[in-house]
Structure 1
Amino acid sequence: MVKQETWTTDEFGASHTGSVGVLLADGTVPKPAYIMMTEHGAGLTTAQWTVYDGHSRLAPRAHALRAVCSCGWSGPEHPLDWGQIGEQRLGEAAAEPADTCEQEWDQHTVEVEKSAVALPEDLAEVLHGLGEAIEKLAQNSPLAALRAARLLEVTAERTAYWPAHDARRDLGLAATAAALGLDEDGARHLLARFGRWSPYS
């Protein structure tokens, strides 16, 4: 497994997994690096941007950072000034452009949310109010808050059953994924969960 710091949102989950991406001077993306942790060769494989400082032949020097998303989106390049970085740790010296990458990915997810099928305003307000009410209830009665959350799950499972079947029959996977801001795998599993069929059928 490749270790790397990533970002997701509650709504879109793994369909939009963001991270700080690395570009080399020739414009290519470096392979994950294997970092040895013990003298016997045990270690881990990582694509974490902070290891690409050129100090090891297994981790070349990064030329630029950019935000990337598992959906294929990428943000603008942020070149690194190695004359200024010098011998500083890359994680400290390039913290600012890395933070900028996260902000750019955040804006990307805002655009994804805008592109998803719109909810009626009154329903969006009800859902927001329910969330706030349950959080407030949890301060005084955690068990009541848990029951309320469980009833929301029951409601979701009951009310989404036929819409899942209708979407599968009438829209297809690609159109459903686009409307929900998910990738096709995410849409497949969502439809299967609510429609109560196997995602592999």
Structure 2
Amino acid sequence: MSWKRERFDSHEGAVGVLLADGSEPGPVSFDMGGGTYFHESTDWWVYTGKLRRPTATAMRGRCACGWRGGREFPIDWAKVDRGNLAAYDVSGPREDWEAHLDEVVSRSVPLPQDVAELLKRLHERLDELVDAHPLTVLRAVGELETDLASFGLMATRFITGAREGAVPRVAEALGTTEQAAGSLLRRYQYVGF
């Protein structure tokens, strides 16, 4: 089970776990019937201590960007229903992750109101057209891609040419990770989609 917020894909959240010594365990491997492939999981409920797995004593929020929640929530394995894992209360870790995302969003560059409204109207209009006129939508998407490549290239050249250390600044401004920001800059720098 993971949590996502639209337009912030690099900040996928989930329940993380801690062992009694305060460390975060690595993934648990499962042998799926021989061979060289082993399925791995970091889902909180696999750290039961059974079958030589580590025993998690607490949970906390975690994010794909590397963030970890500061609050710890004890796990009462006697109350975990293996048939209905969603019934176990993980609201604390999720609330912490939501607060982390709110902070990420607050540091990101806001869109000007008129641009946000134009994008919303464009999205709504293309959604209206896609079933009845898919070729029209495809043509509009093609024209948008051309404009995106041109403006993306200009913005990337300005950002990377004006100052050093562009990747960390772009990551924070867009509410993404440095890896995703670097990938975006390279994509527009070389005008490829």
TM-score range, shorter chain: 0.7 to 0.9
Aligned length: 189
Distance, in Å, in 1 between the alignment partners of 2:5 and 2:158 is: 26
Is structure 2 residue 104 aligned with structure 1 residue 108? Answer: no
Distance, in Å, in 1 between the alignment partners of 2:3 and 2:142 is: 27
Q: CA RMSD in A?
A: 2.6
Is structure 2 residue 35 aligned with structure 1 residue 19? Answer: no
Q: 1:43 to 1:71 in 2, by over 3 A?
A: closer
Is structure 2 residue 127 aligned with structure 1 residue 132? Answer: no
SS of alignment partner, residue 54 of structure 2: strand
1:156-201 deviations in Å (ceiling 9; x for gaps): 1111211101101223222222212222221111111112179xxx
Q: 1:146 to 1:67 in 2, by over 3 A?
A: farther
Distance, in Å, in 2 between the alignment partners of 1:130 and 1:43 is: 45
Alignment of 1:13-162 (within 5 A): 13-14=9-10, 16-38=11-33, 43-57=38-52, 59-75=53-69, 76-85=71-80, 88-89=81-82, 92-93=84-85, 95-98=87-90, 101-102=93-94, 104-162=96-154
| Uncovered stretches (5+) of structure 2, i.e. residues with no partner | none
Distance, in Å, in 1 between the alignment partners of 2:77 and 2:14 is: 22
Is structure 2 residue 180 aligned with structure 1 residue 186? Answer: yes
SS of alignment partner, residue 89 of structure 2: helix
Q: CA deviation at 1:95?
A: 4.0
The 8 Å contact of residues 80 and 94 in structure 1, kept in 2 or not, is answered as: no
The 8 Å contact of residues 47 and 55 in structure 2, kept in 1 or not, is answered as: yes
Distance, in Å, in 1 between the alignment partners of 2:95 and 2:133 is: 36
Q: 1:39 to 1:178 in 2, by over 3 A?
A: closer
The 8 Å contact of residues 64 and 78 in structure 1, kept in 2 or not, is answered as: yes
Q: Residue 173 of structure 2 aligns to which amino acid in structure 1?
A: A
Distance, in Å, in 1 between the alignment partners of 2:180 and 2:2 is: 17
| Uncovered stretches (5+) of structure 1, i.e. residues with no partner | none
Q: CA deviation at 1:46?
A: 2.1
Distance, in Å, in 1 between the alignment partners of 2:184 and 2:3 is: 20
Identity fraction in percent: 35
